[in-house]
Amino acid sequence: MANFMASLAIINLILLGICLIFIMSAILKWLWNITMPQVFNLKEITYWQAFRLLLIAGMLFGGSVGGSALFNLSL
């Protein structure tokens, strides 16, 4: 029973992480579209462009989104 509960907790954490990535993508899209077109005369972005930007930022800067442990390049 303890094994089942531990695996259920791990699955819940993975699902929570996936949901947080999608929510952060929506927030990034919203912030970009209300700020960047007015300030820098850039085009608005789509949801999937915001998702890719979030993944790229996670890979480059090692933030919590994008799996910093997965893309950790420090020695």
Kindly report, residue by residue over 10-35, the tens digit of the pLDDT. Answer: 999 999 999 999 999 999 999 999 99
Cβ-based neighbours of 13, under 8 Å, separated by 6 or more: none
| Type and span of the H or E element at 9 | helix 2-40
| 28 sits in which H/E element | helix 2-40
Structure confidence by residue, pLDDT tens digits, 53-74:
998 988 888 855 544 454 454 5
pTM above 0.75, yes or no: no
Per domain, the residue ranges of the chain are: 2-61
**Mean pLDDT over residues 44-58, rounded?**
91
Axis crossing angle, helix 2-40 with helix 47-61, rounded to the nearest 10: 110
Query: Is 26:50 a contact under the CB 8 Å cutoff?
Result: yes
